[in-house]
Chain A
Amino acid sequence: MADEVSNAGDNADARGEGGGEGGGRGFGETEGGMAGAGRTAANWPAALLVILLIASLVFGYAQWSARRRLEVAVGNQYFNSFFDLLGNIDNVRVALSKSLVSGSPRLRVGALSDVWREASNAQANLNSLPVTHKVLARTSAFLTQVGDFAFATARKVANQQMMSDEDWDRLVKMKEQSEDLAKGLSDMETEASAGRVNWVRVAEQAKKEVPAKPGSKSTPEAVTDGFTKVDESVQHFPTLIYDGPFSDHIEKREPVGVTGTAIDATQAIEIARKFVPFDASAHTGKIQAEVDSKIPAYRVSLDAPAKSGKPDAVVDVTKVGGHVVLMNITRDIDPKKIDLEAAVTRASDFLSKVGMTSMKPTFASEVGNAAVIPLVFVQNGVHVYPDMVKVKVAMDNGDILSYDALGFLTSHHARKLPKPVIEADEAKELLSPALTVAAPPRLTVIPVETVATPEAFCWEFRGTSFGEDFFVYINAVNGTEEKVLQLIKTSEGSLTM
């Protein structure tokens, strides 16, 4: 590279003429001979223009062909997703039919697992197509729920439980719906197979968000229109209630921990002022916003007076009962000076100060010079995990930085805890032989995704297996293994209590 450049320079020096730079010098040297100079002067700008024109044409063509290659490459990716999607949806349909026809639990579980896998792939492929979210939202939701429902049903069948009539009806409906989906996509498949879909133009059109209008085929509008039709065919699908994280019943759960009488804005500001972990009597308190969610709240901002050296805070106070849901104090954190144990003590002290009693820390982890500590409600020695509060502590001086009681306020209520039917020793027999128990078992309430109850009463076993830490939860009433959680170690420190 360097050699070439310096060679070119040498050549120009030696010749003194020809080329752009050399031409200028030549003109100066031949100043005396007017006739010869005139011819050169008339020609060199024209020559330069021709060279520039050719150069720009070459450059333009190179750019155009590079762009085309990229467009084709991007388009091919979209084609790949689209054809994969068609295959996935066809497989979902076939696997759903098989799950209905299979007489043995063994084959039924296999078919339902196929539904789960194919639906999940279909959903991923669908969402990588360059069509706006609005057009695909229902189809996407349908595919997620089909997979989720198939997984939940497979688990049920594997548990030697019978499929209910409702489960059966749902599978039939899902099969019909997936047939409709496949049919809706087949028109587009014809166009796509003929290579008449320009995905790059579809993407550009999606960006403009022009409303899709039924029109000529193989236009971007036609593609969006095709998906709109497919999505509309899904829209009448009934609400799905089953045991799974994407079930509609999860969405419908109402908070039970927000109790008390309505408060007004002035009261909210006073509650916030008293709640923050420093003296905020001189802070300017005002309602920054009103949060319109399942837990309606006032968002109070507390601004420190200038040069007070105190931080600002934002506190969300519920409109009913005046409970603090969230608090956040923003400031930079200096290098850490206190350890995790000290941070946990700070968090516990703060909760007692604000009147949250019977809260026990369970875990602590370090995140960038701060400690995040979840504390759970303990009732008669039983750790109630859904009633959780998270506190963030600065590890430079132990100040409280944030408080999050959304979990607590969503689920806290007076519970009647049963007596364990299965004793700790019996529960221990049910554990995997690969788990070495590392701590005495304790009774807990954990959140589960079932329709009947959102919570399960369990024995918690902490143990290790192949050098990794696990928590295993055995239902203390019926002995079901409800959950296995792995403790993921981060590069920063953590503490389990």
Chain B
Amino acid sequence: MSSTMKRKLMAGLAVLILAAGIAVAVVRRGDAQGRTGDANLLARLVSAEAEGEPYQGMVAVAAVMLNRVKDSKFPNTTSGVVFQPGAFESVSNGLIWQRSPSNQAVSAARDALNGYDPTYGCLFFWNPSKPVSGWIWSRSIAVRIGKHVFAR
């Protein structure tokens, strides 16, 4: 293979890779724009924190976010609650940006925004089989859904 042919091949390959990259970026942007503001952010958090949980458990996680917004002890905006330092492991480690929310997570976020709250006003949730700080057990537990317990 002559060196000019090789050069052409390499250049062609580079253009192809670049084009694919742009295409992926465009598709992802379109995806994000389809859903708006709070619903999208909530869906991402639900996806990262409660994937694999029963549907009620997903709605419950979104409902906890919204209950925090309404509570004086927490930030008063959805993004304030989601990005409160150290509040959610999936936000601290960037997991919430690593995948698009599933349809179920989007639907769960919308249900919660419409007022459906299977936790009846809870402010905390955690997975009791994972290590959690001791003080969290001093909260009063309202209900258990799937792997998570929900508390006020």
The chain A residues found within 8 Å of chain B, CB to CB, are: 1-3, 5-6, 9-10, 13, 120, 123-124, 127-134, 137-138, 140-141, 144-145, 148, 203, 206-207, 209, 245-246, 289-295, 299, 314, 316, 326, 328, 330, 367-368, 372, 390, 392, 402, 404, 406-407
List 8 A-B pairs, minimum CB-CB distance, nearest first.
A293-B120, A144-B72, A130-B85, A141-B72, A2-B11, A2-B14, A6-B7, A2-B10
Could you say which residues of chain B place their CB within 8 Å of the CB of A137?
Answer: 73
Q: Is B84 on the interface with A (CB-CB < 8 A)?
A: yes
A402 CB contact (under 8 Å) in B80, B111, B119 = B111
Q: Is the CB of A206 within 8 A of B76?
A: no
B133 at the interface (CB under 8 A from A): yes
Q: List 22 A-B contacts (CB under 8 A).
A: A1-B14, A123-B75, A123-B76, A127-B75, A128-B83, A137-B73, A144-B73, A144-B76, A203-B85, A207-B92, A209-B133, A245-B70, A246-B72, A289-B144, A290-B143, A292-B140, A293-B119, A330-B56, A367-B114, A392-B111, A402-B111, A407-B115
CA distance A390 to B115 in the complex (A): 9
User: CB of B6 within 8 A of chain A?
Assistant: yes
Known: A133-B87, A390-B116, A406-B120. A6 touches B75 (CB 8 A): no
Q: Does B86 contact A (CB under 8 A)?
A: yes
Checking A9, A10, A144, A292 against B142 with a beta-carbon cut-off of 8 angstroms, the contacting residue is A292
Task: Indicate which residue in B59, B83, B110, B145 contacts A289 across the interface (CB closer than 8 Å).
Answer: B145
Q: How far is the CB of A395 from chain B (nearest CB, A)?
A: 13
* Contact yes or no, A368 B14, CB < 8 A: no
- How many A-B pairs have beta carbons closer than 8 Å: the answer is 121
Select A129's contact among B10, B80, B85, B135, beta carbons within 8 Å.
Answer: B85
> Contact: A295 with B3, CB < 8 Å?
no
Indicate if the CB atoms of A128 and B84 lie closer than 8 Å: yes
- Residue numbers in A under 8 Å from B14 (CB-CB): 1-2
Contact of A390 among B106, B114, B141, B152 (CB under 8 A): B114
Nearest chain A CB to B62's CB is how many angstroms away? 13
On whether the beta carbons of A2 and B115 are closer than 8 Å, the reply is no
The reply to whether the CB of B107 lies closer than 8 angstroms to some CB of chain A is yes
**Nearest-neighbor residue (CB-CB) of B83 within chain A:** A128
B56–A328 contact, CB under 8 A? Answer: yes
Of residues 56 to 105 in B, which have CB atoms within 8 Å of A's CB atoms? 56, 59, 70, 72-77, 80, 83-87, 92
Among B11, B116, B142, the residue within 8 A (CB) of A326 is: B116
* Contacting pair B106 A368 (CB below 8 A): yes
Known: A207-B92, A406-B117. A292 touches B143 (CB 8 A): yes
Q: Are A328 and B118 in contact (CB under 8 A)?
A: yes
